[in-house]
Amino acid sequence: MLPWVTERLDRLDAEPPMLFDEDDGIDFEAVAATDPDVILAAYSGITRSDYETLSRIASVIAHPEAPWTATWRKMIRQNAAGIGTAKAGEELVRRLEKRIEEAVAKHPDLASKTGMFVTHLDPCDLSTIHFYAEADQRVQFLRDLGMEIPQAVRTASEADQYA
């Protein structure tokens, strides 16, 4: 876990979440062993088969459209509604939007900039660059900040693809 996540959990006197290694797929038995009330997968790459298996364990809040493309707003709203806290979810979205607006107001020069979100760059082979596509929420956040996405990224981005 990231240090600031651990720090916040400590301040809240909260238990750390159970984290799973998904390199070889979802360990359904390990998930079931946690006896969850709900499985939050709004920002995930679960397949229909994964969803069906997870649904036998607990209620699943899955990605609404293509895998890995839900915006942060959709994730908050969908997860909040799924756990019965829709009103709190809307309030969180409003607070975060206000913070973004404040940050943008402090940095108006961002409006004239373009940006891309690189996923991988091999320093030994600069002939290839991997980047997140327009549908990915990280790229959408750059738009929230007032930035434009370069034409090359827009052209190379396929609908419903995150990278």
Going by C-beta distance under 8 Å and a sequence separation of 6 or more, which residues neighbour residue 119? 130, 131, 132, 163
Domain boundary assignment for the chain? 108-163
pLDDT digits (tens, 9 = 90+) for 29-87: 999 999 999 999 998 999 999 999 999 999 999 988 888 888 999 999 999 999 999 99
Say what the pTM is.
0.79
Q: Is 84 left (phi over 0), alpha (psi -120 to 50) or beta?
A: left
The pLDDT value recorded for residue 3 is: 92
Mean pLDDT of 8-21: 89
The pLDDT value recorded for residue 128 is: 82
> How confident is residue 159, by pLDDT bands cut at 50, 70 and 90?
low
The pLDDT value recorded for residue 163 is: 53
